[in-house]
Amino acid sequence: MHSKTWIWLGIGAVLILAAANLAILAAFPPGQQHVQEPLKRVNWILPFGPGFEYRDPYESPVIVYDGMNETWRLQNAAAWNRTIALDDRYSLDPARPEDIRYTPDIAIEDGKISLDFFVRNLASEDCARADLAVTTEITRLNATMGSPEGDILSGAATALPIGDLAAGEWREVRVAADLPRPGPEELLYLTIGLAAPHNLMAPNGTSVAFDLRGMSSVVSGPIPTCGDTIDPDYNRARLPRASAAFVVAGRDAPEPAPPLTIRAE
């Protein structure tokens, strides 16, 4: 190719780059900040449980069961009942986080464990009444591997009613569950869940239903629908929920170990 042709091609490339830069400057003038999208979240009744703080069994609170006396004792109760700062997770405006704190207040009495969950109404609707769902799951824990194993025994879901929860209001709700009775050397993993209500009753008697399509959170993939309504099973399975997990150990059971990690040589 002739040398003059290369020169003209070079000049053309420079002109194209200059035009592109001018177009960018026109769209975003100097000093003008790009508008950042707001944080995405589900705008509904949101529960929070201390299970967010400890995700692995070996990090969970340990409850020791003495089968001889039929008593349960929470180890390091003061440490597990510390105040939890929720930061901006449940603030009305994530750009201006509120200093929201709550304490689980875990207690054991008469074979039951009770603790506080945090609930906030972000549904933009005053809630005159709604029923939260309390669920429990129990599975065996492998002390050597530090992980649950075997079948999961699910307890029957129970309703926990809340009332007069205005839009933006938050409160602590008390959740209770039966404690399992492990064998002397057995480790059990107890998970207590709290799910948001599928419907809430507004003060004027109107029923407001949770609809995933109206939420501001990002959902990956298509949402299955039945005609004009979202699939109810799909909808209910994605209700906001929280959990708290406990290791319930027999008196002579070993302490749960951290899960094994494989390192590349």
pLDDT digits (tens, 9 = 90+) for 17-39: 555 555 545 544 544 444 444 44
Q: What is the pLDDT of residue 165?
A: 97
Say what the pTM is: 0.77
Domain total in the chain: 1
Q: Identify the domain containing residue 156 by its residue range.
A: 45-250
Report if residue 258 sits inside a domain: no
Report if residue 126 sits inside a domain: yes
CA separation (Å) from 255 to 23, 42, 107, 141, 249?
A: 64, 38, 21, 10, 8
- pLDDT of 73 above 60: yes
Q: What is the pLDDT of residue 68?
A: 93
CB 87 within 8 A of CB 157: no
Report if residue 107 sits inside a domain: yes
Q: What is the mean pLDDT of residues 239-243?
A: 92
Report if residue 17 sits inside a domain: no
CB 258 within 8 A of CB 75: no
Report if residue 9 sits inside a domain: no
Report if residue 23 sits inside a domain: no
Report if residue 121 sits inside a domain: yes
Report if residue 218 sits inside a domain: yes
Between these two residues, 27 and 241, which has the higher pLDDT value?
241
Residue 20 is which amino acid? A
pLDDT, tens digit (0-9, with 9 covering 90-100), for 123-174: 989 999 999 999 999 999 988 877 888 899 999 899 999 999 999 999 999 9
* % of the chain surpassing 90 pLDDT: 51
Question: Measured between alpha carbons, how far is 18 from 88 in angstroms, rounded to an integer?
Answer: 43
Q: What is the mean pLDDT of residues 222-242?
A: 69
Per DSSP bridges, beta strands 241-250 and 62-66 are parallel
From the number of C-beta atoms within 10 Å of its C-beta (0-12, 13-18, 19+), residue 232 rates as exposed
pLDDT, tens digit (0-9, with 9 covering 90-100), for 177-221: 999 999 999 999 999 999 999 999 999 999 998 876 666 554 555
Q: Give me the chain's average pLDDT, please.
A: 81
Q: What is the pLDDT of residue 90?
A: 83
Question: Measured between alpha carbons, how far is 26 from 261 in angstroms, rounded to an integer?
Answer: 53
Q: What is the pLDDT of residue 53?
A: 62
Q: What is the DSSP letter of 11?
A: H
pLDDT, tens digit (0-9, with 9 covering 90-100), for 104-118: 999 999 999 999 999
CB 134 within 8 A of CB 177: yes
What percentage of the chain's residues is helix, strand, coil (to nearest 5)?
15, 40, 45
Q: What is the pLDDT of residue 58?
A: 74
